């Protein structure tokens, strides 16, 4: 029963944040105790300290399981994918920012690297055509995950990125990206 509770709580925490902080674990443990008082630990100073510690370990194990299944956000942050000089746990961790729900999203269903590259090439030809902002906006929205993968994995220079994605640097698209 304990492992089932921890697994379910870890899944819920992961839905909101892959790398929760100490305060998040405390809040989750206290909410669990408040909702289900029978789970309160009699020997603990606040009744939820043990739950907080168990949640920390469970989240670490849960992230490891997801990484082994190929979760892109966690694979990027793995020490094995970093250069040996950067192989420190806190170095270059791509955590989602406050306004970004999925900093490193998966590709849209049915899309691959090759199909999204074709869409990018089509986008380059669409830029020269007048009065097709809607088509450009749709293709830019479709290739968002591809751009994010490119930025995180390849870390291109701004000029290279501007050459590959000129539509992103138009006034209309820049304002759409910043919303």
Could you give the C-alpha distances from 96 to 12, 42, 43, 166, in angstroms and in order? 17, 37, 37, 25
Q: What is the pLDDT of residue 98?
A: 43
Cα 153 from Cα 107, distance rounded (Å):
14
pLDDT in tens, the chain (179 residues): 888 999 999 999 888 888 888 899 999 999 999 999 888 888 888 888 899 999 999 999 998 888 888 777 776 666 555 555 555 555 555 555 544 544 667 778 888 889 999 999 999 888 888 888 888 888 888 888 888 888 877 888 889 988 998 888 887 777 776 66
Could you give the C-alpha distances from 62 to 3, 28, 58, 95, 98, in angstroms and in order? 12, 16, 6, 16, 22
| 3-class SS of residue 69 | coil
Q: What is the pLDDT of residue 101?
A: 42
Q: What is the pLDDT of residue 99?
A: 46
In the chain, where the domains are located: 2-86, 113-177
Element (H, E) at 72: helix 72-76
Cα 91 from Cα 114, distance rounded (Å):
31
Q: What is the pLDDT of residue 167?
A: 86
Q: What is the pLDDT of residue 177?
A: 66
* Helix runs in the chain, H state only: 2-16, 22-35, 49-68, 72-76, 113-126, 133-142, 144-154, 158-164, 171-177
Cα 138 from Cα 159, distance rounded (Å):
24
Q: What is the pLDDT of residue 95?
A: 59
Place of tokens 């942050």: 77
Burial (Cβ within 10 Å: 0-12, 13-18, ≥19) of residue 134 = exposed
Cβ(131)–Cβ(158) below 8 Å = no
| 3-class SS of residue 162 | helix
Q: What is the pLDDT of residue 58?
A: 93
């Amino acid at each position: 029963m304990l492992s089932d509770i921890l697994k379910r709580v870890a899944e819920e925490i992961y839905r909101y944040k892959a790398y929760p902080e100490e305060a998040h674990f405390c809040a989750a443990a206290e909410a669990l105790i408040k909702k289900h008082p029978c789970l309160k630990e009699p020997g603990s100073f606040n009744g939820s300290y043990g739950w907080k510690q168990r949640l920390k370990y469970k989240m670490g194990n849960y992230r490891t399981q997801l990484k082994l299944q190929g979760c892109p956000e966690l694979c990027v942050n793995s020490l094995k994918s970093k250069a040996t000089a950067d192989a420190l746990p806190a170095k270059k961790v791509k955590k989602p920012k406050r306004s970004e729900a999925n900093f490193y999203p998966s590709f849209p269903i049915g899309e691959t690297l090759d199909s999204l590259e074709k869409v990018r090439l089509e986008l380059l030809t669409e830029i020269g055509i007048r009065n097709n902002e809607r088509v450009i906006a749709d293709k830019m929205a479709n290739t968002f995950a591809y751009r994010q993968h490119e930025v995180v994995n390849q870390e291109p220079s701004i000029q290279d990125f501007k050459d590959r994605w000129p539509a992103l640097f138009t006034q209309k698209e820049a304002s759409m990206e910043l919303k």
